[in-house]
Amino acid sequence: RPRIFSGIQPSGGLTLGNYLGALKRFAALQGGEAETVYCIVDLHAITVWQDPEGLRQRIREAAAAFMAAGVDPEQSVLFNQSQVSAHAEMAWLFNTVARVGWMYRMTQFKDKAGKNAENVSLGLLAYPALMAADILTYQATAVPVGEDQKQHLELTRDIAAKFNHDYGVNHFPITEPLIEGVATRVMSLRDGSKKMSKSDPSDASRINLTDDADTIAQKIRKARTDADPLPGQVDGLKDRPEARNLVNIFAALTDETPDAVLARFEGQGFGAFKPALAEVAVEAMAPITRRMTEYLADPAQIDAILARGADRADAIATPILDRTKDIMGLLRRP
């Protein structure tokens, strides 16, 4: 059975971008032809400083968010990365395959390192090798991600291809990114040129999965827009990134096309559109926030679910890791 893998970092509270670009699609992919393996990638999160107590809490919050968004821990394998040691081991093997120059070219590294590239953790630079390990340790053939992860996915393909070539095997699949729908890049509510991000210093830039109805409505009301009326079709939004973003969010929340949304709002301004968007956002998010709170009331149950997921993940990952070591000539215990 083909396998789909994806992950989310517990590096902050999850956002509407994570929900529409990732979680909602993770849930929709369950029960299809492919087995679904979903991971809270805590080893990725610590490539930048995380307060230990806060991290523990955010891992549980992320698990609650997955389940609240509809990821079923029976249908999917749901776990946190650091409990399955194959990820870190495979990442080391890939550190010997990947080239340093590939890593320096990653735009996410350049953005996160800024002018400080000599002084960030080595892990931040090697991040894409760990991501390749996450995916290829399950021999996953497809990865649902947002647009921002496309370059990392290409690097995963490069690592798989180089490994297969160097060792003369056909061991790792060349994984396909699944970047689909209108919400593959949800933008900041304050700046239409930046993606909505959990680590943006401005809380007003994003909708958090834990925001209550009033906060969501207020953030949408204050979202940056222009003063023009809405056109009848998306073609008319070409140079209006903020307007385009709000229309896309609306469409993703209601499972419509942006054109279908615009057909209802043609000629109207944001005075009419924003309250309607706030209403659909609250309607979609409120049950998720409520279910998250319910899950979080029982942290021991979350821990048990993640432990069970880790056992299932281990059972898939270990034989693939062992085979990889054999191919590379690393002697294993008989």
Could you list the residues known to form a binding site for ATP, using ranges: 9-11, 17-18, 146-148, 186, 195-199
In DSSP terms, which residues pair with 5 in a beta bridge? 37
Is there a catalytic annotation at residue 198? yes
Task: Confirm if 68 and 291 have CB atoms less than 8 A apart.
Answer: yes
Give whole-number Cα distances, 49 to 10, 43, 200, 301, in Å. Answer: 12, 11, 15, 27
CA angle 240, 145, 19 (to 5 degrees): 70
Residue 48 or 286: which CB sits closer to ligand AQP? 48
Q: Which two tokens stand for residue 34?
A: 């492919």
* CB closest to ligand AQP, residue no: 21
Is there a catalytic annotation at residue 194? no
Minimum distance from CB of 146 to ligand AQP (Å)?
A: 3
Of 326, 333, 319, 322, nearest in space to 167 by CA: 326
Site for ligand AQP, rule CB under 6 A:
8-9, 11-12, 15, 17-18, 21-22, 145-146, 148-149, 183-186, 195-199
User: Which residues sit in the known binding site for L-tryptophan?
Assistant: 134
Kind and range of the H or E element at 163? helix 150-167
Residue 62 or 163: which CB sits closer to ligand AQP? 62
Residue 142 or 163: which CB sits closer to ligand AQP? 142
Minimum distance from CB of 322 to ligand AQP (Å)?
A: 28
Give whole-number Cα distances, 165 to 89, 102, 138, 158, 323, in Å. Answer: 21, 17, 19, 10, 16
Residue 160 or 186: which CB sits closer to ligand AQP? 186
Residue 171 or 185: which CB sits closer to ligand AQP? 185
HSE-up of 157 (CA within 13 Å, CB side)? 13
Q: Which of 24, 110, 162, 198 is catalytic?
A: 198
- Kindly give the residue spans of alpha helices, DSSP state H, lying in 21-147: 24-28, 42-45, 52-68, 86-95, 100-104, 107-113, 122-136
Q: Which of 112, 150, 162, 274 is catalytic?
A: 112
Minimum distance from CB of 33 to ligand AQP (Å)?
A: 21
Task: Confirm if 9 and 205 have CB atoms less than 8 A apart.
Answer: no
Kind and range of the H or E element at 36? strand 35-40
Is there a catalytic annotation at residue 112? yes
Minimum distance from CB of 197 to ligand AQP (Å)?
A: 3
User: Which residues sit in the known binding site?
Assistant: 9-11, 17-18, 134, 146-148, 186, 195-199
Minimum distance from CB of 179 to ligand AQP (Å)?
A: 8
- Residues 6 or more apart whose Cβ sits within 8 Å of residue 245: 186, 187, 189, 192
Give me the active site residues, please. Answer: 112, 195, 198
